[in-house]
Structure 1
């Protein structure tokens, strides 16, 4: 357990030591450890998470291209190639780079090929969902499909369903769907995103990371309001906010192990429980995080988005207060 005042570290591998070792090799331009790690990955949830993290590091290198050149029939290499080209297209889009128009179709064709090379793998469909957000005007028919419930908005529901056939309640697939819904319009669209998050969490089984999804929407709403609707932090102690935090804690956190949990999910849960004044539960999540943290959602609390240090300070204040209150046996300090 990290000491209250100890500076947390951002590490995309988190508690996954095997992934951390593979990432170090990828950064050095070597792919053998990545191949060995993926060969040993037994669940689709771990496969999805590890391929995403590996691609984030590999996207700035030629390491996956070298692997594919050495082993052109490797399914894992083909999936990683898809991950990398999609990551590059998404980065270009975020930076409004002119190469987006070139990288987007390349990434789509890689996804399409991967769906045939790896027909039982959810990742190619997750990647197609990630690319859907580049179709900002929803010109593609598959990005404005009818929803499964009348209160939900049109969107890439077929892609989500394909990912779900291969890995039901896939965490990244649902986050990609949420990201697709976020930028489209103002408060009405954000309400639809909230409706999607509630629908996904409500249909998820115990232990599913989808129970954390509504906490992301609450942070996004707070961020877009600039804190205006959060006078005296009432945004976080409202009845529905407290209910969402408790639901995520009891339906997800208490039923999973550290190596099954996303660091980003744990940070959102710790943040929500602290904001809801649920300090004993928040302290448990901070303890599970150990020495790690993620800048979001803490940066949403920082003035003007905060510099590099302010979100860390907010995290440390929340961790110290939660642990202090938990040791004192009360909800509030």
Structure 2
């Protein structure tokens, strides 16, 4: 457990020591540790998480291309090739790069190829879902499929179903679907996002990270209305906000172990419980984070969301406040 006042670190590997070692090797231009790590990864949730983090680190390098050239029939290398291509396309889109469309098509081709090479793997379908947000006008037929329920928006539901078939309630797949809903060119995006996340959480079993999804939309709603206004603190203590935070705590956090929990999910839950004045419960989540944190969602409570140092200060204040209250209630060592 991190001491009160100890400054946490942002580390994409979090508590995954083996992933951290592979990332260090990757950053020096080598791929053998990455191959060894992926060969030893058995659970789909961990495979999805590790390939995503590795791709973010590899996107600015030729490491995966070198691996694939050396082992052209490697299934993990083929999946990582798709992952990196998607990461590059999404970055180009965020930067309004002139090659965005070209990189999008390259990534789509790589992902389609990976669906054939790794037919039982959810990640190639997660990749296709991630690319769907670039088609904000829903020009592609596969991005305007009918939803499973009438009140949900049309979208790439077939792609989500393919990922779901291979790994039910895959965390990243449902987050990618949420990003698609945000990207739709309609004025009802936030309302649709709220409906979508409540539907996803409502269908998920105990222990599923989908129970945390509504907390992401609540943060997004706060961000879009400006944030940092004292009057908006009611946004976090409202009955529905408290209910969402408690549901994520009891339906997800209390039914999972440390390796299964995403750092981003833990930060969103700690933030929601702290905002709802549920300090002893928040302290438990801060303890689970240990020495790590993520700048989001804390950055949206600052004057400059791009300043990570301000985000850390808010995190530290929230952690200290929560632990002090927990000690006062006798529920914290």
Q: Could you say which residue in structure 2 is the equivalent of 1:94?
A: 94
4+ runs of 1 displaced by more than 4 Å? Answer: none
Q: Secondary structure of the residue that 1:267 maps to in structure 2?
A: helix
Please tell me whether the aligned partners of residues 137 and 185 of structure 2 are also in contact (alpha carbons under 8 angstroms). Answer: no
- TM-score when scaled to structure 2? 0.97
Q: Could you say which residue in structure 1 is the equivalent of 2:4?
A: 4
The unaligned stretches of length 5 or more in structure 1 are: none
Please tell me whether the aligned partners of residues 230 and 236 of structure 1 are also in contact (alpha carbons under 8 angstroms). Answer: no
Counterpart Cα distance in 2 of 1:178 and 1:44: 20
Q: CA deviation at 1:218?
A: 0.1
Counterpart Cα distance in 1 of 2:150 and 2:247: 25
The unaligned stretches of length 5 or more in structure 2 are: none
Q: Could you say which residue in structure 2 is the equivalent of 1:327?
A: 327
Q: Could you say which residue in structure 2 is the equivalent of 1:231?
A: 231
Q: CA deviation at 1:308?
A: 2.8
Counterpart Cα distance in 2 of 1:322 and 1:260: 24
Q: Secondary structure of the residue that 1:182 maps to in structure 2?
A: helix
- TM-score when scaled to structure 1? 0.97
Q: CA deviation at 1:185?
A: 4.6
Q: Deviations over 1:30-55 (max 9, x none)?
A: 11100110111111110000000000
Q: 1:55 to 1:306 in 2, by over 3 A?
A: closer
Q: What is the Cα-based RMSD across aligned positions, in Å? A: 1.4
After superposition, residues 208-219 of structure 1 pair within 5 angstroms as 208-219=208-219
Q: CA deviation at 1:229?
A: 7.8
Q: Deviations over 1:214-259 (max 9, x none)?
A: 0000000000010288615100000000000000000000111111
Please tell me whether the aligned partners of residues 228 and 301 of structure 2 are also in contact (alpha carbons under 8 angstroms). Answer: no
Q: Could you say which residue in structure 2 is the equivalent of 1:313?
A: 313
Q: Does 1:142 align with 2:125?
A: no
Q: Deviations over 1:145-191 (max 9, x none)?
A: 11000010000000000000000000000000000111335662101
Counterpart Cα distance in 1 of 2:230 and 2:65: 48
Q: Secondary structure of the residue that 1:309 maps to in structure 2?
A: helix
After superposition, residues 128-277 of structure 1 pair within 5 angstroms as 128-185=128-185, 188-227=188-227, 231=231, 233-277=233-277
Q: Deviations over 1:269-295 (max 9, x none)?
A: 000000001111100000000010001
Q: CA deviation at 1:306?
A: 5.4
Q: Deviations over 1:197-224 (max 9, x none)?
A: 0000000000000000000000000000
Q: 1:187 to 1:276 in 2, by over 3 A?
A: farther
Q: Could you say which residue in structure 1 is the equivalent of 2:46?
A: 46
Please tell me whether the aligned partners of residues 212 and 248 of structure 1 are also in contact (alpha carbons under 8 angstroms). Answer: yes
Counterpart Cα distance in 1 of 2:315 and 2:291: 12
